[in-house]
Amino acid sequence: MNPSFAIRCAILLLFKPIASSNLPSLDVSLLPLFEDAHGNVTGLNVTLHIKDPRSRANRPLVALDLNHGPTPTTRYGDEALAATDALGPLQLAHGDSNGTDSVRTWVVSPTSRDPVGDIIIRCAARPRATSANNTTSGPRVDLRDDQGSLVGIGTGFIPYPPDEEDWNVTVRWDVDMDVDMDGGGTRFASSLGDEKETSVVGAPSRVFEKAYFAIGPLLQRWPPWEETPTATSNDTRPFAAYWHGTLPVPYPADRVSSTIRSTFVAISSFFGDGASPFRVFWRRVWTGYGGAGGFQSFLVEYAPGTEAEQSEPALTNLVAHETVHAVAQYYAVVAPFCAGALGRREFVRWLNNYAQAYYTGGTAELAWQEVVERYRTGVEVVKTPYTREFVYLAAVQGLVDRATGGKKSLDDVVLELYRRFLAREKCQTEDFIELLAGILGSDTAARESFAGMANGSLIVPSGDAFARFGLKMVRRDAEKLDLGFDSRYLGSRVQGLKTGSRAEQAGLREGDQIMELVVRRNGSDVAVRYWPRSYDKVENWEEPASLFIFGKLQDKGENPERPPLLAPLFLAAITAAPFRPRLPTFSCYYYNASEKPNPTPDYN
């Protein structure tokens, strides 16, 4: 993720499905490779057919990201791409950018001739080599093996023209349909659909940067392959979920997929989109869990042993978040509730989870530039854009409500920005501020609110920011998040253990190897349980109506700072996701003895 706070409006990536004869075209053919004795898909032969009259020698032809943070893509070397045109072979050359996330760009060699006619490029994509011991969680951009199948995003293995203008884009699976549709054999799907050939009109850089692809002998679908995938009984746009093999028991395909479908329909309807399809792809990994939004789609990752942490409510919120990036946390909660896809109990819980994550996360005072510079240096910094955005937009909602006497809301600002985005008008931070100033009747108030967010001033929404939902924010100080050791090493060993911390007092020791549920010390497994908070409290604001703190409803008369029966737990540490963490992996939760544990969706 690029931690820029520019107010972007790409809430749903929309592309036109009808081809135009006036546009350049890109046809991508994918041929699965079966190179072992078990019928597993071991790779993909990728063929690009480019029709672009602008093609010239030394002009960018195709590009591919080399990495996103610590996650590498398929790094095609010097001879990995073979190109031809109407006259025969073309000599290619490439160069790499020098940014943190590098991009490799290929051109027809400047010492060669200009291409003539269509250009054909061929390469072979192999899944990234991963293991339980050496692969940590990170940006989900790699092509991976999943139980003998392949799942990955286009930016990880499909070179594409680095053009921001519209193209006719077609994806074609080079697989025998008689094998696919007889109830067995190899099945396939992408964010564009699960037909043998699918087409859209859009910028190749956008389509393939965010399109997911899945193929394999065990690829399952909800609804089943023999049924038509639709969003609802009276909604004809496609909705489908795909996974390999069998999903873990806590994720019943019918119920989870139906819940995700309801969330998607609620959010897309809120933004006036009644046409876009949506697809969900599941991928099993070694460690961590979470997800990433894509082109009219979403990727869910899970690992054995993490199902209790990535619970159904947490998963629903995760999908909602990824569906509405840029204003993600706020509308991931508000839009499903307004549309009836989220109950009031969960709504209040999510509001308080995000608010407490901001106030107790330890980064509320950081200036935005410092957040950018320190991004990926720890889980608390990675989550800052999400939690600060939520509280800031809640504060804006309060400002708008007060200035207009409840006649307008934050929705008026965001929906106008979304309209401009669809019309391809300018849609940046300055436009957000100007729109807000127009509603508030004060340019100063709009700019001061944004400047306060950017310079690290503590954001406190007005008490009636959520008055339209019958809620009132109050101050209820809470303990600051403190793992007790350096969060950068969550995937390996305990380092930087803090003297006197709850982690040390619970028995955690410097050098302990972090495992699934316990740590390994001197060859023995040791369970370490503690509350991952410091002893110091910080200012915290939340909704007292049916007050939820870390997943437990606090009844009147109870101490909201402590559960009445059981101490909160910290299992060090179920999993590690240092670059897109989900802090429920630390199993912080409250519950009554008569209730089942309800894992905290705190830092979803």
pLDDT at 593: 26
DSSP letter for 127, please. P
Number of domains composing the chain: 3
Residue 329 lies in a domain: no
Contact 548/590 with Cβ under 8 angstroms?
Answer: no
Alpha-carbon distances of 300 from 232, 233, 353, 601, rounded to whole Å: 21, 25, 21, 16
Residue 8 lies in a domain: no
* Closest by CA position to 156, among listed 93, 72, 243, 73: 73
Same domain, 202 and 266: yes
323, 355, 388 — which closes off a domain? 323
Dihedral angle of Cα 154, 158, 164, 168, to the nearest 10 degrees: -90
Same domain, 440 and 518: no
Residues 6+ away with beta carbon under 8 Å from 43:
32, 33, 35, 124, 125, 126, 127, 150
Q: How far is CA 546 from the centre of its chain?
A: 30
Same domain, 492 and 570: yes
Element (H, E) at 188: strand 187-190
Residue 10 lies in a domain: no
Same domain, 64 and 146: yes
| Amino acid occupying residue 381 | V
> DSSP states of 6-56 as a string?
-----SS---B-S--TTS-EEEEEEEEE--STT----EEEEEEEEE-TT--
In the block, which residue shows the tokens 């008490």?
463
Same domain, 390 and 536: yes
Residue 4 lies in a domain: no
Element (H, E) at 539: none
When computed from its CA atoms, the radius of gyration of the chain, rounded to whole angstroms, is: 25
Contact 330/393 with Cβ under 8 angstroms?
Answer: yes
Residue 375 lies in a domain: yes
In the block, which residue shows the tokens 């200012």?
539
Query: Phi-psi bin for 117: left (phi > 0), alpha (psi -120 to 50), beta?
Result: left
Report the C-alpha gap between 219 and 242 in whole angstroms. 7
Residue 315 lies in a domain: yes
The tokens describing 483, both together, are: 């793992």
The tokens describing 501, both together, are: 């911390």
In the block, which residue shows the tokens 């460690």?
287
Same domain, 539 and 557: no
pLDDT at 532: 62
Same domain, 98 and 129: yes
Q: What is the CATH number of the domain that holds 244?
A: 2.60.40.3650
Same domain, 305 and 386: no
The residue ranges of the chain whose pLDDT is under 70 are: 1-20, 177-184, 231-235, 249-250, 305-328, 489-492, 514-521, 525-526, 528-533, 535, 541-604
479 backbone dihedrals φ, ψ, rounded to 5°: -75, 140
Report the C-alpha gap between 146 and 141 in whole angstroms. 14
Instruction: Kindly report the number of other CB atoms within 10 A of residue 448's CB atom.
Output: 12
| Amino acid occupying residue 142 | D
Residue 88 lies in a domain: yes
pLDDT at 331: 81
Sign of CA dihedral 13, 17, 18, 20: positive
Q: How far is CA 277 from the centre of its chain?
A: 18
Tens-digit pLDDT profile for residues 422-445: 787 888 889 999 999 999 999 999
DSSP letter for 469, please. G
Q: What is the pTM for the complete model shown?
A: 0.69
Same domain, 104 and 51: yes
Same domain, 183 and 265: yes
Same domain, 356 and 265: no
Residue 330 lies in a domain: no
167 backbone dihedrals φ, ψ, rounded to 5°: -130, 160
* Closest by CA position to 537, among listed 478, 458, 475, 476: 478
* Domain span including residue 472: 343-481+532-549
Same domain, 516 and 590: yes
